[in-house]
Amino acid sequence: MDLLPPLPVVIPLLGAALLLGAPRTMRRQIVDGVALVVALAVLILCVVLAMKTSSGRLVYWFGGWKPRELGGRPIALGVSFSIDPLGAGMAALAAGLVCSALVFSWHYFKEVGNLFHVLMLVFLGAMVGFCLSGDLFNMFVFFELMSVAAYSLTAYKIEERGPLQGALNFAVTNSVGGFLLLTGLALLYARTGALNLAQIGHALDGTHLDGLVIVAFVFLMTGFLVKAAVVPFHFWLADAHSVAPTPVCMLFSGVMVELGLYGVARVYWTVFEGPMSVHIPQLREVLMAMAVVTALVGSVMCLLQHHLKRLLAFSTVSHAGLFLLGVALLQPKALGGVAIYIAAHGAVKAALFVCVGILLDRKGSVDERRIFGRGRDLPFTGVLFMLGGLALAGLPPFGTFLGKGLVEEQASELGLWWVPWLFVAVSAMTGGAVLRAAGRVFRGWGEPPEFDPTSLEEGHEDRETGGASTRTRLVMLAPAIALLAAALVLGILPSVPQRAVRGAVAFEDHRGYEAAVLGLPAASRAGSPAPLGSSFSSVLLGILGALLAVTIALIALFKHLLPEAPVEWVRSRLSPVGERMRTLHSGHVSDYIAWLTAGVAALGGLLAAALR
């Protein structure tokens, strides 16, 4: 039997156990080295899996418990890994980001032994398992393992108030999400007697949507959407990001949030597509509505932030909205675009966090007002940060532009003319916020900030590295360069769109998935998609987005040079809205859970009305 599929989960978990058992006095370089080698091995294995599965799905049954047939119905007795290119690709993204985070943190956390590495490896193993699993309950278990590792990593600096509170908010909100996920899973089990995704899907095929299935769908979606930080389930994200150590933020923004969306897509296409395929227009509308609100709330909040980690966190919220919008189109081309967009965004966002981490290391703060103009002696970091901002805005030929373009094309084909403009506006706003911060910190552009340096309005952050560094270490800069280069390569390699869309076609092939997992006669509808390239209009939109981002940044920086009357008019109109949105993000976990409950009710009501 082929032993390849379980390895990328087994290796990091074993590595974590090994490091946990190792003596605390072990040399730091050895710990770093072991963790990095393990993460690299996982990366290579995941890439191999993605390559191997491009010609067909790979199904691995643990213990050799293959499905049997009973009374004409296939029964999955065992637990499976059902691997396809997009799943393996997400796993590879997770492994790649863990590698760069480990390189970046080479000099981090000197005093605390091996625990950081142990948690990172557990986190990696859980993420990979979540991507490869073909069993709904195992997805839940990996999801929870990933979450618990994430909570502990958030609270890593346990001596400070901010991380404690951020981790509490994060853990409580996501745990409630996890329990809702489990409730949905239980309801599906009650209906179908199955936990394997393919078998649940097979049992639901040809049935009519009824109340139970809709409720199960709502609970499962909510569980994943909490992780995906979709409004109104997003509140935990900024709190967790603003207090977590920088290498951890790279993983949270780069891949963990996106795994929530992966869960939504995976469960929809394997389980619910049968009964829901007749309701696609209605389902699309509901999901798109959530996505648009998320994208707008995220980008507005992003512009309002001064704390750089919080700023990047809200940019992740708005991008999660864009990804959900792409998934909500329910078309292979859009899903392929989202896959590229997620990979490129993950790399770019992680690179931006690396730059923020360097600032924190050198300047001891990540508040753009506090370190106004003090980044002038870090020109190279500044250039990388600005490049990251432009890539976030969708500048060609970064991979973000390519993925965004595919989604935009698909939306236009569906007659949704406003979607490309929304993409341009939202990515320009988040890119603009990053560029504005870059201008202030690295160039000292704009008015010097007027604020009382003793007031600590937002979570004050201590250095993570112990003592100020006098120069930027190469191991800190290298991940940023490599990640931006990866985002660029994704956008340039001509085979990328073709591969992604082919992967998306396989991903959305409900019947093909059932056939491959349950050993049924193949009835695949998967054809090969038409050749793809970025069209002229999407290049124009990409450039427009980048220009718009620069304009937004320049207006934000130099508004004191503009005529006073119109600026004042705009400010008086916009600032109450901004203030109200800021007060909604109250930092109280009770409020977050109230929002979550309201969100579940709203989503359930909308779907019940739309799908009946």
Partner 1 sequence: MSVFPFGVAAWLLLTGIYGIVTSRNLIHLVVCLSVVQSSTYVLLLAIGYKSHAAAPVFLNVPLATPAVDPVVQALVLTDIVVGATVTALLLGLVVQTHKRCGTLDPEALQSLRG
State the minimum distance, in angstroms, from the CB of residue 553 to partner 1: 21
Binding region for partner 1 (CB under 8 A) out of 46-54, 365-373, 550-558, 578-586 = 578-586
Is-contact 482 100, C-beta < 8 A? yes
| Subset of residues 120 to 179 that bind partner 1, contact rule: CB under 8 A | 137, 141, 144, 147-148, 151-152, 155, 158-162, 164-169, 171-172, 175-176, 178-179
Give the max Cα distance, the chain: 79
State the minimum distance, in angstroms, from the CB of residue 535 to partner 1: 40
Bridge partners of 69, per DSSP, are 74
User: What count of other Cβ atoms lies within 10 Å of the Cβ of residue 421?
Assistant: 12
Q: Does 239 bind partner 1 (CB under 8 A)?
A: yes
Dihedral of CA atoms 147, 149, 152, 154 in degrees, nearest 10, equals -70
- Closest alpha carbon to 322 in 427, 209, 203, 236: 427
From CA 274, how far away is CA 272, in angstroms rounded?
5
State the minimum distance, in angstroms, from the CB of residue 398 to partner 1: 30
From CA 429, how far away is CA 299, in angstroms rounded?
6
Binding region for partner 1 (CB under 8 A) out of 11-19, 81-89, 547-555, 586-594 = 586-594
From CA 464, how far away is CA 305, in angstroms rounded?
21
Q: Does 17 bind partner 1 (CB under 8 A)?
A: no
State the minimum distance, in angstroms, from the CB of residue 19 to partner 1: 19
| Subset of residues 407 to 426 that bind partner 1, contact rule: CB under 8 A | none
| Subset of residues 439 to 498 that bind partner 1, contact rule: CB under 8 A | 457-459
What one-character DSSP code corresponds to residue 81?
Answer: E
From CA 321, how far away is CA 312, in angstroms rounded?
14
State the minimum distance, in angstroms, from the CB of residue 311 to partner 1: 11
What one-character DSSP code corresponds to residue 595?
Answer: H
| HEC-encoded secondary structure of 289-308 | HHHHHHHHHHHHHHHHCCEH
- The two three-digit tokens of residue 475, written as one number: 């191991």
Which of 160, 464 has the CB closer to partner 1?
A: 160
State the minimum distance, in angstroms, from the CB of residue 446 to partner 1: 21
Which of 161, 525 has the CB closer to partner 1?
A: 161
- Per CB under 8 A, the list member of 300, 585, 603, 611 interacting with partner 1 is 585
From CA 7, how far away is CA 29, in angstroms rounded?
25
| Subset of residues 494 to 553 that bind partner 1, contact rule: CB under 8 A | none
State the minimum distance, in angstroms, from the CB of residue 340 to partner 1: 33
Give backbone dihedrals phi and psi of 398, rounded to 5 degrees, phi first: -65, 155
From CA 387, how far away is CA 393, in angstroms rounded?
10
Measure CA 32 to chain center. Answer: 25
Q: Does 365 bind partner 1 (CB under 8 A)?
A: no
From CA 84, how far away is CA 133, in angstroms rounded?
10
State the minimum distance, in angstroms, from the CB of residue 80 to partner 1: 15
State the minimum distance, in angstroms, from the CB of residue 400 to partner 1: 27
| Subset of residues 175 to 204 that bind partner 1, contact rule: CB under 8 A | 175-176, 178-179, 182-183, 186-187, 189-190, 195
**Binding interface with partner 1 (CB under 8 A):** 137, 141, 144, 147-148, 151-152, 155, 158-162, 164-169, 171-172, 175-176, 178-179, 182-183, 186-187, 189-190, 195, 238-239, 242-243, 304-305, 457-459, 582-583, 585-590, 593-594, 597
